[in-house]
Structure 1
Amino acid sequence: MTASWLPSLITATPEEGFDLAIKLSRMAVKKTQPDDEVRARLRPVYAEDPTALVAISHVVAANFQTVAAANGYWRPATA
């Protein structure tokens, strides 16, 4: 049995959580378009498009909200 690429949403730090949000976003693209050649051909199209890059940032932000919620990043700090 192969290991899952996403064993948990729990991370040690918010920075690791953000990295996980990026991975979630990248995996969504890979699963939506599984053909490596097609993804490689399309990358230059969006890599130079500011609107596409902002859209990508929104997807990562949405995924980070999910990771942050799973990790309780927004709980009040204790004194």
Structure 2
Amino acid sequence: MDTITLIPNNSLLTSTPEEGRQLAIKMARLIIKATQPDEQKRSQLRDLYANDAMMLIAIGQTVATEFATVAAANNYWQSR
């Protein structure tokens, strides 16, 4: 199994909240890849969750959790 880097560039620091949000989305996608490493299976499941409102909400919650982590690591961008 290939090693997956769950924190790109080994840093949660970003210059702006927009970059932080993009990092949060990337991190959420990477955790899905780590949880289900089979690319073909992930592709098959995409159709399932793309049409399920509750699953889409769960994805949004995962990104929000990752964004909260990134924002805290960046002191909520107050010092930038």
Normalised by the length of structure 1, the TM-score is 0.85
Matches within 5 A, 1:35-50: 35-50=38-53
What residue is the counterpart of 2:64 in the other structure?
61
Q: Distance in 1 between matches of 2:69 and 2:61?
A: 13
Is this contact kept in 1: 2:16–2:77, CA < 8 A? Answer: no
Q: Distance in 2 between matches of 1:74 and 1:36?
A: 35
Q: Distance in 2 between matches of 1:44 and 1:58?
A: 19
Decide which structure has greater helix share. 2
SS in 1 for 2:8: coil
Q: Distance in 1 between matches of 2:16 and 2:68?
A: 14
State which structure, 1 or 2, has the greater radius of gyration over its C-alpha atoms: 1
What residue is the counterpart of 2:35 in the other structure?
32
Aligned length: 73
Which structure 2 residue ranges, 5 or more long, are not aligned? Answer: none
Which structure 1 residue ranges, 5 or more long, are not aligned? Answer: none
Q: Percent identity?
A: 52
Question: Any runs of at least 4 consecutive aligned residues in structure 1 with deviations exceeding 4 A, and if so which?
Answer: none
CA displacement, residues 14-53 of structure 1 (integer Å, 9 cap, x when unaligned): 0000000000000000011111000000100000110000
1:6 to 5, 8, 14: 8
